């Protein structure tokens, strides 16, 4: 008996591998975030087939951001498709969110609202994990954006295929090893015509511009660039994880602030900058506004100390050196 079409088989294998390595208990509910686009529909179709056979329950949540005319209808259609792809009785919900402006940009604000809605729905349904349909192309675009912004290793490491979402939930991305074309082919194999989000063609958004730039670069440099950027992210993630672990150890060893400048000077710079970022975030600096330039300025309180005054960081946080001690604190 012939097997499934190759693209659909690839998606199913990717989901099965993710579930096998997830550490989730058998019988746990796995919740899918579905937009109705090709990537999330391919994920839904693959997981709807694999999860019950692997001993897991499965459901889906469609988040309606309300940012486009007719978004409610698109969300309802996506939910109907999820019901057709998942086992009978699987929970499928549509959640309408309000996207607040934080100054971080519309993409970031929509993502924040979406992740919060997915986490809330997962907790309400008693799910153990939320799975998203990000692909290798999404990974490559994120790395390219990080390069354009001059980001550090953590940002260039891209997205992990699994990370904590808070409250005991696991966030998973089983399809990171597949191309966007592969998910489209999987949808075709399932007889699905995915929704095409107009925002994916809107050049006001940085990710859309990155997508176009990546296509042009592949035309100039040859095919395979997206895969190579994704592999670079995997390598950098290992390095970033190791440095984060060293910074965690140093944070515990240093104890309460102020931290001694000689002890800080003995640490590698990559560890110190992670300490500065962690301390600034803990005091209330917004991560979206805290730049590498800020962190380098704080580091100069250790490496190039000549009596400079307090540094003002985003969110009303100050970094100050007094004698041999460096301290980050929120302004009164």
Residue in 79, 36, 38, 42 with CA at minimum distance from that of residue 59: 79
Asked whether residue 45 is marked as a ligand-binding residue, the answer is no
Residue in 147, 157, 142 with CA at minimum distance from that of residue 236: 157
Asked whether residue 39 is marked as a ligand-binding residue, the answer is yes
Asked whether residue 232 is marked as a ligand-binding residue, the answer is no
- C-beta separation of 50 from 15 below 8 A: yes
Asked whether residue 35 is marked as a ligand-binding residue, the answer is yes
Asked whether residue 315 is marked as a ligand-binding residue, the answer is no
Asked whether residue 150 is marked as a ligand-binding residue, the answer is no
Cite the annotated binding site for ATP by residue number.
Answer: 35-40
Cite the annotated binding site by residue number.
Answer: 35-40
């Amino acid at each position: 008996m012939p097997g499934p079409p190759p693209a659909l088989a690839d998606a199913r294998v990717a989901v099965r591998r993710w579930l096998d390595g997830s550490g989730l208990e058998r019988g746990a509910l796995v919740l899918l975030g579905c937009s109705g686009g090709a990537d999330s529909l391919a994920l839904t179709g693959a997981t709807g087939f694999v999860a019950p056979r692997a001993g897991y329950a499965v459901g889906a949540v469609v988040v309606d951001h309300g940012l486009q005319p007719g978004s409610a209808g698109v969300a309802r259609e996506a939910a109907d498709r999820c019901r057709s792809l998942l086992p009978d009785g699987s929970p499928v919900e549509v959640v309408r969110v309000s996207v607040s402006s934080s100054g971080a940009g519309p993409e970031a604000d929509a993502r924040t609202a979406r992740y919060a809605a997915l986490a809330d729905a997962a907790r309400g349904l008693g799910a153990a994990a939320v799975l998203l349909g990000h692909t290798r192309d999404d990974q490559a675009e994120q790395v390219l954006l990080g390069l354009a912004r001059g980001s550090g290793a953590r940002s260039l490491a891209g997205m992990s295929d699994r990370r904590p979402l808070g409250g005991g939930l696991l966030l998973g991305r089983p399809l990171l090893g597949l191309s966007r074309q592969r998910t489209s082919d999987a949808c075709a194999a399932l007889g699905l015509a995915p929704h095409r989000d107009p925002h994916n063609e809107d050049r006001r958004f940085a990710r859309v511009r990155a997508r176009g730039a990546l296509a042009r670069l592949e035309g100039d440099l040859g095919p395979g660039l997206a895969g190579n950027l994704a592999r670079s992210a995997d390598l950098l993630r290992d390095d970033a994880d190791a440095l984060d672990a060293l910074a965690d150890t140093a944070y515990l060893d240093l104890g309460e602030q102020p931290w001694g400048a000689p002890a800080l000077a003995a640490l590698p710079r990559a560890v110190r900058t992670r300490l500065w970022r962690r301390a600034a975030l803990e005091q209330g600096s917004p991560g979206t506004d805290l730049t590498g330039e800020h962190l380098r300025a704080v580091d100069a309180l250790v490496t190039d100390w000549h009596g400079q005054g307090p540094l003002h960081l985003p969110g009303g946080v100050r970094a100050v050196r007094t004698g041999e001690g460096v301290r980050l604190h929120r302004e009164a």
